[in-house]
Amino acid sequence: MIPIEAIVVLGLLLFAVGFVGVVVRKNLVVMLMSLELLLNGANILLVGFGRRLGSPRGSIFALFVIIMAVSEAAVGFALVLAYFRRTKSYDADALDDLKG
Amino acid sequence: MFALIPLFPLIGAVVNGLVGIRWFSRRAVGATAVGAAGLSFAAAVAAFAGLVRAADPVAVKTLFTWVPASLVRTASGSLASLRFDMAFRYDSLAAVMTLVVTGVGLLIHIYSLGYMAHDRSYARFFAFMNLFTFAMLILVLGANLGVMFIGWEGVGLSSYLLIGFWFSKDSAASAGKKAFITNRVGDLGFLLGTGLLAYALGTIDITGIAAGVEGGALARGTATAAALLLFLGATGKSAQIPLYTWLPDAMEGPTPVSALIHAATMVTAGVYMVARLHVLFTFSGTALTVVALTGAFTAVYAATMGVVQTDIKRVLAYSTISQIGTMFIGLGVGAYAAGIFHLMTHAFFKSLLFLAAGSVIHALSGEQDLRKMGGLRSRIPRTYRVFLVGALAISGIPGLSGFFSKDEILASAFASGNYLVWALGLAGAALTAFYTFRLIFLAFHGDERFDAETGRRLRESPRAMLVPLEILAALAIAGGYPGLPRLFGGGAWFRRFLEPSTGAPELHIGAGTEILLMLVSVAAAAAAIFGAHAIYVTHRGGPARRFAEKHRTLYRTVFRKYYVDEFYDRVIVGGIFALGRIADLFDRRVIDGLVDGAAGLTKRISRWAIRFDEGAVDGAVNGVGRIHLSASALLRRLQTGRIYNYALAVVVGVIVVITLAVVVL
C-alpha cells in the first residue's frame, strides 16, 4: 500500500513543475504541455484520495478531467497552430493584443 | 313674380362666367346674355302689369331671414328687435327702376353683340354685364338698406370690372381702381348712415324707417346726420361733388358699359336711394337743402368742364354728371317724382347718346378725339339722325322727353322759392345744350379732319347696333309723354303712378308762371344751340379759339378740370402717403426699436447662458471624463497582455483566498 503522503507529494510536485512551466516558459507548446502536467498533478491527487477513501468517485472524476484535458489540448494546439501560421513563431510574449 | 327679375341675369352671369367662357361659341354666349336680359325685361313688364292691376301699391317678397331678430337698445333708450330679411320690395318706384334697368339694359346688350363682336373676351364681357344687371336689380328691389347695400356694392364691383375690362391697358386698369376707391369713400357714408338709422330707430327696413320717421321716433339732428351720410354714398355712386372725379376716367371702359353703367343705371343709384328714403330727407330739411345745392352746383360745374373736353365720351361723361345734378335738384326741392322722371328720360337719351358715340367711334376705327372728326353727317346718316334726336332731347327742346322732365324739375325748383338753385339749374341746362351741340357740330358738320386711311375704312355700324339705337331714339322722343303735365292736357300720369312711393309734391305755381318758365328755358336752350352753331359751324371754331387764347388761364383751369384731380392727388392721396410715412417711421423707430431691444436682451442673456454651459456644465462633464481617464491610466499598467502574468496573478489570488479562508476559518 503506497502511503497517501507519497501520492500527495507526487501530485504537488507535478503541479509545481507544471505551474513553473506555464509561468516561466515563453514557448506556447511548452506552456500547453505544462498545463497537462498541472492537470495530471491534480488527477493524481483525485485518484489517490479516492483510493484512500475506498470510493471510485475520485477515479471517475479523474477520467472526466482527462477527457477535458484531451479536448483542451486539441483546441489549444489548434489555436497554437493557427497562431504559428500567421506569425511563424511560438513566442507567447508576442501575444499581447490585450495589453492595456 | 318680381323676385324673378334679378334671377335671370344672375343665371346668365353664372352660365357665361363659368361655362361659356371656356366652352361656348360666340353665338351661344350672346344668346345666353341677351336671353337673360330679355327674360328679365319680360318679367319686369309682367310685374309692372301686375302692379297696375293690383290693389296694394307695395308688395314685399321675403326669401329668407338674413339677420335674425336680436334685441337692441335704440338711441332713445327703448328696446327694439333689429332683424332684416333677404327681401324684395316692389312698388311703383321699383317698377320704374326695374323697367329702365332691364329695358335699357336689354337694348345695350343687343348693341354690344355688334360693338364687342371682335373682342377676344366676349364671354367675360357679357358675364360682367349680366352680373351688373343682377346687382343693379338687387339694389332697386332691396326692401331694406342691407339688401340695398349688397346691390350697392355689387354694382360698384361690376363697374370696376367693366371699366378695367381692357385691363392690359394701364389707363383702364387705374381708372377702374380710381372708380372703386372713390366709391368706397361714399360706401362708407352709406354704411355709417345705415348703422346710424339702425341705432336710432332699431330698423333698417324701408317701411320701418318711413314709419319711424313719421312716428316721430327720430330727432331732427340724427335724421340730418343719417341723411347726409347716406347722401355721401349717393355722391360717390352718382358722381356728384365732391366724389365725381372717377366718372370721366371711367370712360376707359367699353362704350356699352359707359352707356349702361355710367349713364343710364348705376350712376342714378344715388338718385334712386334718396327718392327711396324721401321721408327721411324731407323730415331733415337741412339734408334736402344740401342735396339741392350739391345738385345745382354740380350741374353747372360739370357742364363747364363738358364745354372744353375734346374726347367725345368725356363730353358725355361730364354731361352725365351735370344731368344727375339736375336730378338731385329735383329731389332737393322735394319733387321726387320729377327727379325719377328725369332719371328715366335721361336713361333713354343719355344711353342713346353714348351708344351713338360708340357707333361714331366704331365707324372711325376707335378715334375718340373730336378734333379728328367732322363731316360725318353724310358718311353715317343713321347714326347722325339718332344722335341728333338724343341731343335735342337732352337740350330740352319741346316735344322730346328731356323737355318735360327737366322743365318739371326747374318749375319745382322755382316753386320751392330757392331761386339760386333754379338759376343754377337753368344755367346748367343752357350749358348742356351748348356743349351737346358743340359735340354734334364738331363731329358731324364741317370739314373731315380724320386721315385718309380712316376715311377709307369708314362705314355705318352693323344692324345689331343701329336697331337698339333707333328704339332708344323712339324712347327719347316718347319717354316724356307718361309725365305730360296738365298744362298740355296730360294727366301727369307718371307722378300719380309714383305717388304711393314718393309722395305727392305740392306745386304752388300758376299756369302763367309755368309757361313763362318754359319759355325762358327753351329760349336759353335755343340761344345756346344757335350760339354753338355760330361758333363751330359758321366761324369754324374761330371764336372759341380766340376766347381760349385771350383767357388762357381760365381756359387752362377749366380744361384741366379745375385742378381738382391734382388737388385730390396732393391733399388726400398725398396726405395718406404722408400718414403712411409717419406710420413707417413709427414702425422703424419705435416698434422695430422695441423688437430689436428685446432681441439684444435675449442675445445678452443667452451669452451668459453659454458661459454657464461651457464653464459649469461642460466642466462637470469633462471633469468626470478626465477622472476616469487618469484612473484608467493607472489601471492599464496591470493589463500586460502576457499570459504568464495573468496565470501568476490567478495563482497568487488563489493562494491569498485559500490563506484567508484557512486563517479566518
- What percent of the residues of chain A are helix, what percent strand, and what percent coil, each to the nearest 5? 80, 0, 15
Can you give the pLDDT at residue B491? 67
Cβ atoms of residues B273 and B233 within 8 Å: yes
To the nearest 10 degrees (0 to 180), the angle between helices B312-332 and B419-444 is 160
Measure the CA–CA gap between B381 and B297, rounded to whole angstroms: 36
Chain Cα centroid distance, residue B299: 19
- The SS3 assignment for B418 reads coil
Q: Do A23 and B644 touch (CB under 8 A)?
A: yes
- The SS3 assignment for B153 reads helix
Closest residue in A to B647 (Cα–Cα): A23
Residue B506 pLDDT greater than 80, yes or no: no
- Nearest partner of B277 among B134, B99, B137, B142, judged by Cα: B142
Closest residue in A to B645 (Cα–Cα): A23
Tell me which residue in B635, B636, B647 faces A23 most closely, judged by beta carbons: B647
Q: Do B643 and A92 touch (CB under 8 A)?
A: yes
- Residue B290 — very low, low, confident or very high, per pLDDT cuts 50/70/90? very high
Average pLDDT over residues B610-622: 91
Interface test with A, best of B636, B644, B648, B658 (most A CBs within 10 A): B644
Average pLDDT over residues B234-262: 90
List of long-range contacts for B162-165, beta carbons under 8 Å, 24+ apart: B162/B125, B162/B128, B162/B129, B162/B132, B162/B253, B162/B254, B162/B257, B162/B261, B163/B249, B163/B250, B163/B252, B163/B253, B163/B257, B164/B252, B164/B253, B165/B121, B165/B124, B165/B125, B165/B128, B165/B253, B165/B254, B165/B257
H-run or E-run covering B585: helix B574-586
Tell me which residue in B636, B637, B642 faces A96 most closely, judged by beta carbons: B642
Can you give the pLDDT at residue A24? 85
Interface test with B, best of A37, A90, A98 (most B CBs within 10 A): A98
Residue B470 pLDDT greater than 70, yes or no: yes
All domains in chain A, ordered by first residue: 4-90 (1.10.287.3510)
Measure the CA–CA gap between B340 and B515, rounded to whole angstroms: 22
Bridge-based pairing of strands B59-73 and B79-90 is antiparallel
Chain Cα centroid distance, residue B128: 14
Cβ atoms of residues B61 and B101 within 8 Å: no
Q: Is B639 an interface residue toward A (CB < 8 Å)?
A: yes
CB–CB contacts below 8 A, A to B:
37
Q: Chain A: nearest CA to B645, how far in angstroms?
A: 7
To the nearest 10 degrees (0 to 180), the angle between helices B26-53 and B92-115 is 160
Interface test with A, best of B643, B645, B648 (most A CBs within 10 A): B643
- Residue B508 — very low, low, confident or very high, per pLDDT cuts 50/70/90? low
Q: Do B648 and A24 touch (CB under 8 A)?
A: no
Query: In A, residues 23-42, which contact B (CB 8 Å cutoff)?
Result: 23-24, 26, 31
Can you give the pLDDT at residue B175? 92
Q: Chain A: nearest CA to B644, how far in angstroms?
A: 5
Q: Is A100 an interface residue toward B (CB < 8 Å)?
A: yes
Residues of B with Cβ-Cβ distance to A24 under 8 angstroms: 644
Measure the CA–CA gap between B438 and B430, rounded to whole angstroms: 12
Measure the CA–CA gap between B564 and B130, rounded to whole angstroms: 34
- What percent of the residues of chain B are helix, what percent strand, and what percent coil, each to the nearest 5? 80, 5, 15
- Residue B665 — very low, low, confident or very high, per pLDDT cuts 50/70/90? confident
Q: Is A16 an interface residue toward B (CB < 8 Å)?
A: no
Q: Do A98 and B639 touch (CB under 8 A)?
A: yes
Q: Using one digit for the tens of pLDDT, what is the confidence trace for B149-185?
A: 999 999 999 999 999 999 988 999 999 999 999 999 9
Q: Is B638 an interface residue toward A (CB < 8 Å)?
A: yes
Residue B79 pLDDT greater than 80, yes or no: no
Residues of A with Cβ-Cβ distance to B635 under 8 angstroms: 100
- The SS3 assignment for B369 reads strand
Q: Do B636 and A100 touch (CB under 8 A)?
A: yes
Give the other-Cβ count within 10 Å of B607's Cβ. Answer: 10
Cβ atoms of residues B421 and B74 within 8 Å: no
Q: Do A23 and B639 touch (CB under 8 A)?
A: no
Q: Do A31 and B643 touch (CB under 8 A)?
A: yes
Burial B309-335 (b: 16+ CB within 10 A, else e): beebbbbbbbbbbbbbbbbbbbbbbbb
Q: Is A96 an interface residue toward B (CB < 8 Å)?
A: yes
Q: Chain B: nearest CA to A3, how far in angstroms?
A: 25
Q: Three cell numbers at A98?
A: 490585450
Can you give the pLDDT at residue B81? 78
Average pLDDT over residues B613-636: 90
Q: Do B641 and A92 touch (CB under 8 A)?
A: no
Which has more confidence, B417 or B662? B662
DSSP-assigned letter for residue B144 = B
Measure the CA–CA gap between B619 and B659, rounded to whole angstroms: 46
Q: Is B629 an interface residue toward A (CB < 8 Å)?
A: no
Enumerate residue ranges in chain A where pLDDT < 70: 100
> What value does the mean pLDDT of chain B take?
89
Of A17-26, B69-78, B356-365, B529-538, least confident by mean pLDDT is B69-78
- Residue B505 — very low, low, confident or very high, per pLDDT cuts 50/70/90? low
Residue B492 pLDDT greater than 90, yes or no: no
Of B137-151, B401-415, B483-497, least confident by mean pLDDT is B483-497
- Residue B139 — very low, low, confident or very high, per pLDDT cuts 50/70/90? very high
Average pLDDT over residues B273-283: 92
Closest residue in A to B635 (Cα–Cα): A100
Residue B558 pLDDT greater than 90, yes or no: no
Q: Is B633 an interface residue toward A (CB < 8 Å)?
A: no
Q: Using one digit for the tens of pLDDT, what is the confidence trace for B204-213?
A: 889 889 988 8
Average pLDDT over residues B230-243: 91
Can you give the pLDDT at residue B375? 84
Helix locations, B379-418, DSSP H: 381-395, 401-416
Average pLDDT over residues B135-149: 93
